[in-house]
Structure 1
Amino acid sequence: MPAREEIPTTLRRSPKKAQETWIKAHDSAVETYGEGERAHRTAFAALKHSFEKVGDRWEPKGRKGPSDAQAARSRPKAGKTAEGVDANASKQHLYDVARRLDVRGRSTMSKEELVSAIMKANRRATAKAR
């Protein structure tokens, strides 16, 4: 399977179900679109329906569905995403994730600010894990 060699490091630290979801979607996208960025975007869009990025790994979401406007598209294209943060989740859920990631100032942040802060904390955690 071509996706097994290309699996991102964040997925290697994630549950097996997340890995299988990404691999299956990636392989299907490669058959449809060919190898490349589009196959990766499609695989991540599929992953974001069941998982969210927390720190340096992907965790199951409480509810299934797209995590942001980009993941909701039937044909993902290059553009701005929430980088795996479940931007459609409640403010309380985002606050809880921010607390787990030790985001400072989270109690005064709006929902959009929480999403941005979690994205930044996720990037930091992923870089540190490498």
Structure 2
Amino acid sequence: MEKTNIMAEFIITGDHFETKLITEQIGIEPSGTYIKGEKIDDRDLYRKETCWFLETDYQESFDINQQLNHILILLEPHIEKLKTLRTKHNLNFLFSFSIRIMDNETPAITIEQKAIGIAYDLNAEFDLDLYIL
């Protein structure tokens, strides 16, 4: 039987920026990127912004901080570079969680102070998506 699982992402978005620049500046390969104006799959929809993102896989978990900490460990040494990139390229930062709840087993959704401090430094937002399965 499948258990509740969580995926965490750090997402950088902006109108137009070179996604390779982010990778080069912070030395982290993204999980994915897309460019404003790109067609979305086979639909008649197009990307409204450029995006660089880093994500964990879905993992069985009852605490979003487990997945968030995987991302924070990678990002922490690069906070100052990210702040500079944000200002220079008018970027937006977001920590996003996708939570798939199985058998009404809800995880802890408390964000630790360390993560709040980093998000504050980066001027980042938090987003939580819950899927009850």
Q: TM (normalized to structure 1)?
A: 0.31
Rg comparison, structure with higher value: 2
Bigger RCO of structures 1 and 2 (CA < 8 A, at least 6 apart)? 2
Q: TM (normalized to structure 2)?
A: 0.31
Structure showing the higher helix proportion among its residues: 1
